[in-house]
Amino acid sequence: MLISNGSGVRLCCESGPTMTGLDSTSKLVAEYRISVFARIWRRLWRWFPSFSAKHSPFFIFDDGAVLWNQGFGQLAFLKGDRSVSIGWDFAERSIGRIVHLTAVRHWDPPHDAEQITDSERSQLIDRLRARFEARNERIVIR
């Protein structure tokens, strides 16, 4: 069964949501693109950016990249058709959260053959800091 998400991208839903004709799109990016919940937050970001920066599970950057808080212990960074999953945990209150970026070496499938470059890692650190600073939260990146 094929469904259109309204933006011209056709989605195949027989064996779970996947992108038809775009086998190079990560599963998380595909999920984000078809999520009604994410669509609502994308609109709220346009209308109420200050509110959204503090309360949304999605932190949307000007270039379209997204940091997605997926629940306790997991963030996802989405850029283009690629995603990377990043683990985190709580530390002492004075430290805040510990983001385990050193454990991240490759993009998520189907891009898992591609290593994350030093430049991409540096940009990711900047984006993580921007996201947590907007929420007045402290982080330590390890």
* Residue 74 near residue 134 (C-beta atoms within 8 A): no
> What mean pLDDT comes out for the span 107-114?
96
Cα(74)–Cα(89) distance, rounded to whole angstroms? 8
- Taking the whole predicted model, whether its pTM rises above 0.85 is answered as no
pLDDT tens string 3-35: 333 333 322 322 334 334 457 899 999 999 999
Out of 46-60, 63-77, 88-102, 117-131, pick the least confident.
88-102
> What mean pLDDT comes out for the span 82-95?
86
Running DSSP on this structure, what letter comes out for residue 16?
B
Cα(75)–Cα(72) distance, rounded to whole angstroms? 9
| Tokens read off for 37 | 């919940």
Give residue 79's Cα distance to chain centre: 8
* Type of residue at 142: R
> What mean pLDDT comes out for the span 88-96?
80
pLDDT of residue 94: 72
Q: Give the three-state DSSP class for 81.
A: coil
> What mean pLDDT comes out for the span 119-141?
92
Residue 1 has pLDDT above 60, yes or no: no
